[in-house]
């Protein structure tokens, strides 16, 4: 089974909304920026191929990571959030969309579907979002390391049998202690995890 094509990393800042009397937490940010993760270009479909259909579930996440806030962790491991900077949608939603888009960009015989599509799938991909935050592991004045960690389980729909399970993680240090640089690190780490997860799913479903 062929591997996914390399995914072009990128960052898209969607819009800036005016907020009065906003005080930034960590790090310093431009006022009210809304961010999303970049998506790879979809592949061209090939006629005559019957792909394996995989339903990609929305990741289950702890309450601290289930919203649209951009989470940061300080030395005491307590989560805080960037002020005036948010994701375009709750973190589990943007991760789910990125994984689906990553499948669409690959050359594997796997076709991802959303649960809302109500399409019969041979497999279900169940996900737990364990980490999705920027860690200030070298102090508050040094650019943090973004950590993304997702636990995946591939389940056969008919027999409800566990086919395979694995944890995927990536750590990427931001290039600067600024919101834009930190979101770029989120993008790189998330793309790495999504690509590895998609490759693993293709291999596991083929077996």
pLDDT tens, position by position, 52-76? 999 999 999 999 999 999 999 987 6
Do residues 164 and 72 make contact, with C-beta atoms less than 8 angstroms apart?
Answer: no
Reported as a pLDDT band with limits 50, 70 and 90, residue 26 is: low
CA gap 133, 78 in Å, rounded: 11
| pLDDT value at residue 13 | 34
Burial 147-186 (b: 16+ CB within 10 A, else e): bbbbbbebbeeeeeeebeeeebebebbbeebbbbbbbbbb
Reported as a pLDDT band with limits 50, 70 and 90, residue 22 is: very low
CA separation (Å) from 118 to 56, 73, 168?
12, 38, 27
Domains (ranges, CATH) in the chain?
A: 11-206 (3.40.50.10610)
Model's pTM, two decimal places? 0.81
CA gap 16, 47 in Å, rounded: 43
Do residues 45 and 109 make contact, with C-beta atoms less than 8 angstroms apart?
Answer: no
- On average, the pLDDT of the chain sits at 84
DSSP notation for 33-102? EEEEE--PPPPPP-TT--PEEEEEPPPB--GGGSSSEEEEE-TT--EEEEEEEEESS-HHHHHHHHHHHH
Which pairs from 58-62 meet CB under 8 Å and 24+ separation? 58/92, 58/93, 58/96, 58/115, 58/127, 59/92, 59/95, 59/96, 59/127, 59/128, 59/129, 59/150, 60/92, 60/126, 60/127, 60/128, 60/129, 61/91, 61/92, 61/128, 61/129, 61/132, 62/129
159, two tokens: 């027999």
Q: What is the pLDDT of residues 100-158, one digit of tens each?
A: 999 999 866 889 999 999 899 999 999 999 999 999 999 889 999 999 999 999 999 88
Lowest mean pLDDT among 4-8, 116-120, 150-154, 192-196: 4-8
């Amino acid at each position: 089974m062929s591997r996914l094509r390399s995914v072009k990393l990128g960052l898209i800042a969607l819009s800036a909304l005016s907020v009065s009397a906003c005080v930034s937490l960590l790090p310093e940010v431009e006022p009210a920026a809304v961010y999303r993760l970049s998506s790879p270009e979809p592949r061209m479909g090939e006629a005559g191929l019957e792909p394996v259909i995989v339903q990609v579930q929305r990741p289950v996440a702890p309450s601290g990571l289930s919203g649209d806030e951009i989470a940061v962790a300080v030395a005491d491991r307590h989560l805080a959030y960037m002020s005036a900077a948010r994701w375009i949608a709750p973190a589990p939603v943007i991760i789910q969309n990125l994984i689906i888009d990553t499948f669409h960009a690959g050359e594997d015989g796997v076709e991802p579907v959303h649960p809302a599509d109500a399409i019969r799938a041979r497999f279900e991909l169940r996900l737990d979002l364990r980490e999705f935050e920027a860690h200030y592991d070298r102090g508050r004045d040094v650019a943090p390391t973004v950590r993304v960690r997702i636990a995946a389980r591939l389940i056969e729909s008919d027999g409800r049998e566990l086919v395979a399970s694995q944890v995927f993680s990536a750590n990427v240090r931001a290039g600067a202690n600024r919101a834009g640089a930190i979101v770029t690190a989120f993008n790189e780490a998330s793309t790495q995890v999504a690509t590895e997860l998609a490759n693993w799913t293709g291999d596991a479903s083929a077996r």
